[in-house]
Amino acid sequence: MEGARRERGGRIEVRGLTKRFGSFTAVDHLDFDVEPGRVTGFLGPNGSGKTTTLRMLLGLVRATAGTATIDGHRYRDIPNPLTVVGSALEATNFHPGRTGRNHLRVQAAVAGVPDRRVDELLELVGIPAAARKRAGGYSMGMRQRLGLAAALLGDPRVIILDEPANGLDPEGIRWLRGFLRHLADEGRTLLISSHMLSEVEQTVDDVVIIANGKRVAQGTVAELRGHPTAYVRTSDPERLAEGLRRRGLAVTPAGRGLRVTTDDLATVGDVAHASDVAIHELRSEQTHLEELFFNLTESEEFRNRNLLAQAGDTGPSAPAGPPTDLPPPSGPPIDPALLDEPGPDARDEQTARLDREGGAR
Ligand SMILES: Nc1ncnc2c1ncn2[C@@H]1O[C@H](COP(=O)(O)OP(=O)(O)OP(=O)(O)O)[C@@H](O)[C@H]1O
Ligand SMILES: [Mg+2]
């Protein structure tokens, strides 16, 4: 892409951002930063408030409280915003009877971008031929790529994509990963949402995780993953532990087995063999990040209340349980600074909510 980014800027700041729909709090005092030159994943289960947050950031929904700014400016105060911020939100509708190319040309005209750039972008996102067909017949993946091209029209330094990996096949996800990396390497700021960690874990540098509109964790992927660990169960744990420690590996007892700080299962097997003990189980453990996200998506505790509530009932507006209520991770220990501690009132509301639910059962 022409015009490699040299200029600084493109920092997103979200402070105390809150959105209430009636008595329902969809986004709840959210704070996070997104840095230029990095791909930041904005992760959370279905209904956790990702799209609502991005819509506030893009000035499409008015915040109930708090601010979301780009280089200190609210979106609506940015002159000619399409040249600063490009975005593709979920369920972007393209007129079915219009070709993808014409669709982009209309948007280009609005943004004051020459038609030439439309063809460049279609080439770049890999749909130059398909874009001459009517958008009504596009697959999900083609729509995603067209949305991406639209987001890039104004050569923006901030790019905000809602669920860009949704509907992409593994090859498409790999392509997207390379594409986003390239954009970040040019110094652009990338904020991409996803409800699936596995779709974006290898794509993003930083993550902000939310549940029920509240931030649950943030940090670099490496920090949140922690050290890789293996779990091993054997006929003689003490003897194996001794052999592993002699190899310089950290070993701790874990249930009926041992946890070893390594991602190298072969070494564990070799040490067992050399120590003359039988292995009954040997596997890599989930990283802390996988475990954290799994707990958010699997536990009813963190499910979106609108998904649980009866039709027409938006449920109580009490916030979700604090992250410290997650089951203790079986994986490696993690720096507590990366997890968000709930305030004392969150604990009270949590207790109150559990009481209410307990009474209802
Ligand atoms: N206009 C609205 N009126 C009332 N409730 C809304 C409105 N928009 C969103 N919500 C509710 O706010 C919550 C958060 O929705 P949002 O679309 O932001 O979630 P999400 O994290 O993007 O979910 P998904 O992964 O399914 O895309 C949901 O419970 C949703 O029903
Ligand atoms: Mg969404």
For 202-243, the pLDDT digits (tens) are 899 999 999 999 999 999 998 888 888 999 999 999 999 999
For residues 48-66, average pLDDT: 96
- In this predicted structure, what is the pLDDT of residue 335? 61
What separation, in Å, do the N-terminal and C-terminal C-alpha atoms of the chain show? Answer: 59
- 350, pLDDT greater than 70: no
* Residue where the block lists tokens 């700041």: 13
- In this predicted structure, what is the pLDDT of residue 55? 96
What letter would DSSP give residue 343? P
Q: Which bin fits 179, alpha (ψ -120 to 50), beta or left (φ > 0)? A: alpha
For residues 87-112, average pLDDT: 85
CA of 50 to the centre of ligand 1 (A): 8
Residue 333: pLDDT band (50, 70, 90) is low
For residues 163-167, average pLDDT: 90
Question: Which uninterrupted H or E stretch holds 159?
Answer: strand 158-161
Residue 101: pLDDT band (50, 70, 90) is very high
- In this predicted structure, what is the pLDDT of residue 287? 85
SS3 239: helix
| Under 8 Å between Cβ of 81 and 20 | no
Which ligand gives the minimal distance to the CA of 161? 2
Task: Tell me the sheet residues that pair with 17.
Answer: 30
Residue 116: pLDDT band (50, 70, 90) is very high
The closest-lying atom of ligand 1 relative to the alpha carbon of residue 48 is 21
DSSP notation for 292-341: HHHHHHH-GGGS-HHHHSPTT-----PPPPPGGGSPPPSS----GGGBPP
CA dist., res. 250 & res. 271, Å (int): 13
- 179, pLDDT greater than 80: yes
For residues 258-268, average pLDDT: 95
Higher pLDDT, residue 361 or 111 = 111
SS3 289: helix
Distance, C-alpha 107 to centroid of its chain: 28
- In this predicted structure, what is the pLDDT of residue 251? 97
Ligand 1 atom 7 nearest Cα: 21
Residue 328: pLDDT band (50, 70, 90) is very low
For 121-163, the pLDDT digits (tens) are 999 998 888 888 888 888 888 889 999 999 999 999 999 999 9
CA of 21 to the centre of ligand 1 (A): 10
Ligand 1 atom 16 nearest Cα: 49
What would the two tokens of residue 86 be?
């490009």
Evaluate if pTM is beyond 0.85. Answer: no
- 301, pLDDT greater than 80: no
CA dist., res. 57 & res. 359, Å (int): 39
Residues with CB under 6 Å of ligand 1 are 21, 26, 44, 46-52, 90, 195, 304, 306
| The dihedral sign for the CA sequence 304, 305, 308, 311 | negative
CA dist., res. 287 & res. 225, Å (int): 5
Domains of the chain: 12-224 (3.40.50.300), 229-284 (3.30.70.100), 288-360 (no CATH)
Ligand 1 atom 24 nearest Cα: 46
